[in-house]
Structure formats: structure tokens, C-alpha cells
Amino acid sequence: MRITQTLRRAVQTRADATATICGNREQTWRELRDRVARLAGALHGLGVQAEDRVAILALNSDRYLEYLYGVSWAGAAANPVNIRLAPPEIAYTLEDSESRVLFVDDAFAPVVAQIRAQLPALEHVVFIGDGELPEGCLAYEDLIANHAPAAEAEVRGDALAGLFYTGGTTGKSKGVMLSHDAIVYNMLNMLPMLGYDQTAVYLHAAPMFHLADMANTHAVTAVGGTHCVIPRFDIDALLAMIARGKVTHTMLVPTMINMLVSSGKLEGADIASLRRMLYGASPMPEALLLRAMKALPGVGFVQGYGQTEAAPVVTLLPAEAHYPGSDKLTSAGVPAYGVDVAIMDEAGSEVATGTVGEVCARGLNIMQGYWKRPEQTAETLRDGWLRTGDLGYMDGDGYVFIVDRAKDMIISGGENIFSVEVEGAIYQHPDVQETAVIGLPSEQWGEAVHAVIVLREGGTATEADIIAHCRGLIADYKLPRSISFREEALPLSGAGKILKTELRKELAG
């Protein structure tokens, strides 16, 4: 399989249909393919060869889409950089990947200027923004205009398609090596689960560097649908683009859904065209999901569970399982097509149905390994299985229920406490906007359950109120021993995951 086949098919079947809508720019699939081929020609002109890393650090745009296909068309490997990283972390990602070319927009050109001297392997910086060309950068549109279309390199199968760095939520970020097979196979799972066809209009509101959005990118291209793009998640921009483009599909992480349904802006908004919403990247509290389903009654919700190492989907919870009272609503769904999923103990043996163990997966979607990290690759890929580091169980119908990240599980007084379960109870309090539960060192208990909470506007709940609320929902030993309230939003990774490592550092300090 190869990534660029989806683009070839879109041109064959939908050449003059609208491919992208971004700001005041629109283009057809025929026009997009021409620009992609010219971009590949420009990359060859810059000396890019097979599987060389070509990076991008930019907000969402139609040019981001051209980059993704242009790099594959040229036979190179993409390196989409997390836009929420600090400059030293960006420098580490680019240096570790040995990226030779970097695409950058208006928002990040100043950052690159700061760190460029630290990047000896970086030969060219290409400016894809709309502002004034920064010093030392090549103009993207000039490269497109001045190069003839290149023939498709047709790299495929186990060839390196890209390096995708982990979010760094539990340690130093690692470059995940994904092949063309892995990325395309994941895309194929999106087609039936999201109901994509040529009428699909997909809104890129989540970051385009994230693999969950990217799986949809390739699915929409495969059917010749339309890509609508806003630079970043913004409620007003999202609702305006849904109305303008008659958007049918989008993908949001739970924190974005929480902000959307709590905004008070859905009433009166023109969102009648929206029929599917994929969510994932972090746990979705049941109380929040029920609120979202009520606020968006015409939308079919689909959950995707996985991780970067799985390109990213491992399981999917279909729209038909999303209804109040469903006993599957809190699950992560069933194994994706063609993906083996098993719950294993530490020794690598499958555990009995209903027993908690580590979620493991194998299939064409699984990574080749961590870039330049053979020891960590061997720890994570064992006997052909990806050890996800997530704890969960599988019921008799094959539905997987995630109980926690292994590293987020709290051991208090000898009891295992899953932070996700405690968060689920807290989220049911009407005053709670968002929460994260962590373990803090305790001389008495080893670890003590601590909740960090952001209240809704006008919320007045106290520590005592929250604990009393939770007492009727979870066992006493799982109750928060302490709570801290904060006015600012919880720290997030670029993929929208709450950074519990940062909260632990803040509270330890």
C-alpha cells in the first residue's frame, strides 16, 4: 500500500470536485495533485532523497495537506512536529530526526529563527505562511511555480512514511517509525466506521500533526471528499466553517468537545450538516459524553482508541453503541478490522475475560520501532505484540474497557486505584468543567488520591462538596484525599491530552 494512491484515486474519480477550502482559497483535486507533484519536484531539487526526513511546524492549512502528500510523492518521510512543544523540545525533535528540510508558517518562523543554529542537519527552511518572507527562508509558492511536476516515487509497503514523535506525557518524546502500510491500513478502518463517501466534507479543527486527524485526512482523500481547514481549534471558527462548508465529519478530542458543549454557542448555530464526530486521544468521561450527545442530537459519535505506535487506531466504538443506557458507552470499542487485540499479564499470557491486564495489539498498523532506540523498541514490541502501557479488560462481546494508563494508576494503602474512574465520578458534579486525578506521595498511604479541578463559570463547589458527591459513586478508598482548584485550564499536550506529569511537578514544587 502507498499513501499517494488515495490522491491518485481522488483525481481519477473526482478531478473537478472541491478538494480543499481554507480561508479564501479553494482548489479542485486536479489542482491539488498538480501542486503536490510540483512540490515533490521542488523537494528533489533541494536534494531530498528516499526516506529523508522532511519536517513541518505549522498550524493547520491547505498547504499542510499539500506537504503531507508532496513528501510521500517525493519518496521521503514526513516529520510533523507537535505545535505545542517549547523551543528546546522542537530543536530536539528536529535534531533527533535529522530532518533536512523544514516547512514553517507565520506562527512558528520566529521560533525556528531562534533554534536554527542548533540544527546542523537542517539545510533548508520553507516558508508556507502568508506574511512577509522571513530571512533565510525559501518561498513556498515560488518553489511550486518554478518546478515541473515530478513523477510519483511510488514508495510503498514497509518503506518509512514518517517519524511521529510521542506526546512526551510520560517521558522524553520518541520518534515512532510508521510505514506506508501502517498509515494506509489505519485509514481503511476509518471508511466504514465513519461512513465516508464522496459527499463527505471533513473539518480539520484538531491539529493536523496528530495521527488521529491524519487517519481522517487520508480517508477523505480516498473517497474524493472535501477538506475544510481552520488554523486551530476555535469555537467561533469551527461553527462558521461547519455552516460555510456544510461540514459532515470532524474529529475533536474530549477537551475540545467539553469546551464546545459548554460554550453556549451551539444554540442557533447552523450545524445541520454535521453527521459524524470522531473523538479520542484521551479518556472521555461518561458524563461529558452524555452532555455532548444531548447537545448534538443529530451527530453520530465514534470513539477511536489507540496510540502513536499503532498509527494510531487499536479499537473503535461505533456510532450505534452511543445511546443513553448503553452498557458499552464507557468502553473503547471493539478491535479495529485486521488488528489483533489481547489483554495480557506481565509475562505476556492472555488473561481471562473481564480480568484487568495490559492492552496489547498486533497488525499491519503497528510501528516498525522507535527511531534510533532499539532497547526501548524491544521493551515495547514483544513477541510481535505492541505493549500499549494501558490497563484494561475485554468483555464477552469483545469490547475493550480502558481503566487507566499503567503509569497513572495510583497505589494507595496497597489498593490499585484507577484515576480514570475517579475522574468519571468527579465529572458528574454539575459545577466541574474539567479535572485530572493524580497520586501524590504520602507517608501514610504510599500515594494519596489528589484531584485538580477547574470549575465551570459560576461554580461554587468546595472540596467537601466534591468528596461528598463522589462518596455515593465510588468506594471510600478511591475518594480524593485532597483537591486543588485552579482558574486556568489544565495543561495540555499538542494532541489535547492533559499533562499529568506537569501537574505532578507543579504540586511537588
Indicate the DSSP class of residue 169: S
| CATH for 5-392, options being 3.30.1490.100, 3.40.50.12780, 3.30.300.30, 3.30.365.10 | 3.40.50.12780
Measured CA distances, 329 to 103, 321, 432, 459, 464 (Å) = 41, 6, 21, 27, 29
pLDDT of residue 169: 46
pLDDT of residue 170: 46
The residues spanned by each domain of the chain are 5-392, 415-508
Contact 334/359 with Cβ under 8 angstroms? no
With the C-alpha atoms ordered 265, 267, 273, 279, is the resulting torsion angle positive or negative? positive
CATH 3.30.300.30 fits 415-508, yes or no: yes
Contact 122/98 with Cβ under 8 angstroms? no
Three-point CA angle 152, 155, 157, nearest 5°: 145
What is the per-residue DSSP string for 48-108? --TT-EEEEE--S-HHHHHHHHHHHHTT-EEEEPPTT--HHHHHHHHHHHT-SEEEE-TTT
Provide the Cα torsion 198, 155, 143, 48; round to 10°. Answer: 160
The three-state secondary structure class of 340 is: strand
Q: Cβ atoms within 10 A of the Cβ of 49, count?
A: 12
What is the rounded distance in angstroms from the CA atom of residue 205 to the CA atom of residue 234? 8
pLDDT of residue 37: 98
State the amino acid at position 489 in one-letter form: A
pLDDT of residue 493: 77
pLDDT of residue 167: 66
Q: Tell me: the pLDDT tens digits for 43-87?
A: 999 999 999 999 999 999 999 999 999 999 999 999 999 888 888
Measured CA distances, 324 to 202, 276, 280, 293, 294 (Å) = 26, 17, 19, 9, 9
What is the rounded distance in angstroms from the CA atom of residue 247 to the CA atom of residue 200? 8
What is the rounded distance in angstroms from the CA atom of residue 81 to the CA atom of residue 239? 27
Q: Which residues of the chain have pLDDT under 50?
A: 169-170
